[in-house]
Structure 1
Amino acid sequence: MLTRGGMQALPTTILEPAPPVRFDGYEIVRPLGAGGMACVYLARDVGLGRLVALKIGATRNNPRARARFALEARALGRVQHPNVIAAFHTGEIGGLPYLATEYVPGRALNDLRKPQRWRTVLGIGVGLARALEAVHAGGLLHRDVKPSNVMMTQDGTIKLIDFGLARAIDARIDDDIPGVVELAAGSPDVHLTAPDCIVGTPRYLAPELWSGAPATVRTDLYAMGLVLHELLAGSVPHTGLRGNELVAFMRSH
């Protein structure tokens, strides 16, 4: 263990250096996972005595990352629904933005054995459809519906998580944060962010998005359809295509 500023720190297995174990009323319990933009920890809200998920940005003093976290917090703040993860608090620690959300014990859909029975997939579809109905009714698009962003709790409840790419249906309300399109060959889950707002995970993007059309309610529903197809059939229709092959295939359909 390391000590920084008199506070005990976690082993540097995800963030380097690791965040302090205790800060802003939270006590980190253990890492839950990491992605290209953030790391997620299981933590305890000391004041309220409940477990939360702490999503901490992976880059320090990054205005774009702070803006994206602020957008995610605002997006979650608009939606209160049993099938959508709840947001509690946002802040910053050591130059890293963080977001405290509801902790959802269970498994992401990408961890389920495939193919699943149709009755199981039907239940998942109902929960996910209700989540998206609430998100869209709140004036938002999720824009990254995929198996790893849908959790199934121990009692079978479906929870839509990770609103890091969410934005308002009316683009005039929340401007997107521009970036660079980069498709890594062999990496089907790389994220896209571009000035023309092509955003998402390639294998779950609707065909019109590849042609530069804006994201809509329908593109979220298309992604949901692919998620359910994958659970039933064991794979998405265009499994095996990577990088430029996937781009060419989607633009031709």
Structure 2
Amino acid sequence: MATEMERKLRAALEAGDSEELQRLCGEIDSNIELEVGGFDTQDYPFEELRKMPLAHHVACKPVSSSCLELLIDRFGPGCLTHRNDRGQTPVHLAAQHQDESWMKLVKEKGGKRCLRIVDRWRQTVVHFAAMNRKSNSCLKWLVKKLGSDCLTVSDRDGDTAVHLAALYQSIESLEWIKRQIGTDCFRLKVDSDRTAFHIAAWKSDNSNLKWLVKELGSDCLTVPDKYGDTAVHWAAEHQPVDSLQFIFERIGAEMFSLKNNQGEAMTDAVESWRWVTDKSAKRAWISSSLWRLKASRPPAGSSTPTAASAGTKKQLDPSFTDWDFILQEDKKQLIGRGGFGEVYKALTDRNQTVAVKMLPLSGTDKSGKLQKAVEMEKRGVEILKRLSHPNILQFLKCEQKSDGLYIFTELVLGHSLFELMQRQNKPFKESEVRDFSRQICLGLNFLHCQPQGAILHRDIKSENVMLTNEGVIKLIDFGLAREIFNTCSLSAGNQPKGTWHFMAPEMLMGEGNSIPQDRRVGLRLHVWAFGCVYELTAMQPPDGNEPQQRIVILRYMQRAMPDGNEPQQIADGFSAGLKDFYL
């Protein structure tokens, strides 16, 4: 039976009562072993009680470091290197549960050698610091003292501190690690061929996995470890259903065909007995996704492309060196005209038809502003040509000639949503608005998740949203031509880059003249511009009856959008859910 002193120590430890614990520690004669509970179930999910020496318990509990200091002073620094039944010392446990002040105390009382102790599984103090869910201050302090090489030391299972931080800590820690040793550390494979993105897929939320995909690209999801398991397998087992949707948006149907060395697919991982994470919801998502994929495939022998097959068509080759306009009745075949140029059909020397937007370069350029604007547009195309997503217009290249700048993109066969409404002389049905909105969201989300920062479209409206003949939404016209337009004496001044009715206030106030690199800013501007949802139900933009000058005043006053004496709502006949989504 526990003595009265042991019961008091246990109560003080479980309650985190530093004052009482210090008083009791001053009365005991040895670093006694205690059986104590009250541990974080995330760290110790299967243990209600743990039996360890008192110093070990102190290092785990939310108490003052003065308690450990008192024990060291009473029993000597040897209590810091004393091991429990798992080979762990109070130093390991303090790194896992406390902040950097405890590490400073350990170094002061036990010397730097205490920071290099390894447990039975070859895990260092740095490994334990990477498992600290509450703070990364111990990890940062240890790296400062021991050097960044300690981040890549592997334990018995082949895991490094980088791996463990991907599982236990936040994006802030991953960004800090990236600054210390570079992005390649997240691809590091040791004994088991597991990488940081494999481990991140074990985390109960997908925040770290999403960040790593943004940094490393979607290919990291399909890299197998020694056993053939990918991040897709682990996410299917450990993470909630929204992770499956996220992965599907990145790699599509390929996620269902990935198999490990045992022939198990991600659908088998969902049924694993080891963990239970909304299995029923994941089963339902898998069933509906597989059904949609099957329904989208063309019938056997059919040559008609579908929305699904559009993503697997032959990729356009941007390396063509020669091209010419496709003629119609001896004239260039015009397929579109806007405020900043005309779009024609062209045939390349790779035997592919593309769209080419011609931007005339008129006006004098004594100050060099025009050429600076042209170079800015070229850089914009270089950024956009790296994007590949079913709902984003594929940019190919641009060429500057004496008469203008030519921007080449994929040729989209279909109509803009604006044109379709005009031709039908009526707004879209709710089912159509929902489908279009979902696809627009997928495209915008892709733009937000670029490794170099969010890319802002700048002009989301029904005229710039195309519906292909196969039913696929394409976001077009990223506003590239506006810099040239404003420089060629074709514009009255420095106009905002976009359409007035769809602009967030900061765009109208001159704060949005460049593509924001802060993802949150880009998200706000895109969400505001996504007011085009209203346009699809009303055939006019929000505040469509207001003159341009009035729009600026309304936005400056921070009034709700759309504005008016009576708040303008989506019309009756549409569901409350759609109205709520718009608001």
Q: Could you tell me the TM-score, scaled by structure 2's length?
A: 0.33
Which residue identity is paired with 1:250? R
Contact 1:37–1:59 under 8 Å retained in 2: no
Structure 1 counterpart of 2:541, from 225, 236, 239: 236
After superposing on structure 2, the runs of 4+ consecutive aligned residues of structure 1 that deviate more than 3 Å are 176-180, 190-194, 211-215
Structure 2 counterpart of 1:146, from 461, 464, 467: 461
Q: Render the CA deviation track for 1:37-88: whole Å, top value 9, x for unaligned.
A: 222111112x222210101112247414422430331231231111111112
Secondary structure of 2:459's aligned partner:
coil
Give the unaligned 5+ runs of structure 1.
1-22, 167-175, 181-189
1:234 deviates by: 2.7
Tell me which protein shows more strand as a share of its residues. 1
Q: Which moved more, 1:134-143 or 1:202-211?
A: 202-211
Partner of 1:163: 478
Which residue identity is paired with 2:552? V
Partner of 2:444: 132
Partner of 1:25: 322
1:192–1:66 distance in 2 versus 1, CA, 3 Å? same
Partner of 1:44: 347
1:56 aligns with 2:358: yes
| C-alpha separation in 2, matches of 1:87 and 1:73 | 7
Which residue identity is paired with 1:206? A
1:230 deviates by: 0.8
| C-alpha separation in 2, matches of 1:41 and 1:72 | 20
Give the unaligned 5+ runs of structure 2.
1-319, 327-332, 513-520, 560-583
Q: Render the CA deviation track for 1:126-176: whole Å, top value 9, x for unaligned.
A: 11111111111122111111111111001110011112349xxxxxxxxx8
Contact 2:335–2:343 under 8 Å retained in 1: yes
1:105 aligns with 2:413: yes
Contact 2:340–2:485 under 8 Å retained in 1: no
1:211–1:94 distance in 2 versus 1, CA, 3 Å? closer
**1:78-227 correspondence runs (5 A):** 78-113=386-421, 114-138=426-450, 139=453, 140-165=455-480, 193=494, 198-214=496-512, 216-224=522-530, 226-227=531-532
| C-alpha separation in 2, matches of 1:201 and 1:179 | 15
Root-mean-square deviation over aligned CA pairs: 2.9
Which residue identity is paired with 2:323? Y
Contact 2:373–2:484 under 8 Å retained in 1: no
Secondary structure of 2:385's aligned partner:
helix
Residue correspondences, number: 209
Partner of 2:553: 248
| C-alpha separation in 1, matches of 2:360 and 2:431 | 39
Tell me which protein shows more helix as a share of its residues. 2
| C-alpha separation in 2, matches of 1:150 and 1:88 | 19
Bigger radius of gyration among the two: 2
1:211–1:87 distance in 2 versus 1, CA, 3 Å? closer
1:217–1:178 distance in 2 versus 1, CA, 3 Å? farther
| C-alpha separation in 2, matches of 1:75 and 1:246 | 32
| C-alpha separation in 1, matches of 2:386 and 2:535 | 30
| C-alpha separation in 2, matches of 1:79 and 1:249 | 35
1:35–1:88 distance in 2 versus 1, CA, 3 Å? same
1:38–1:117 distance in 2 versus 1, CA, 3 Å? same
Q: Which moved more, 1:23-32 or 1:132-141?
A: 23-32
- Percent identity, please: 30
Which residue identity is paired with 2:546? L
1:248–1:135 distance in 2 versus 1, CA, 3 Å? same
Contact 2:395–2:408 under 8 Å retained in 1: yes
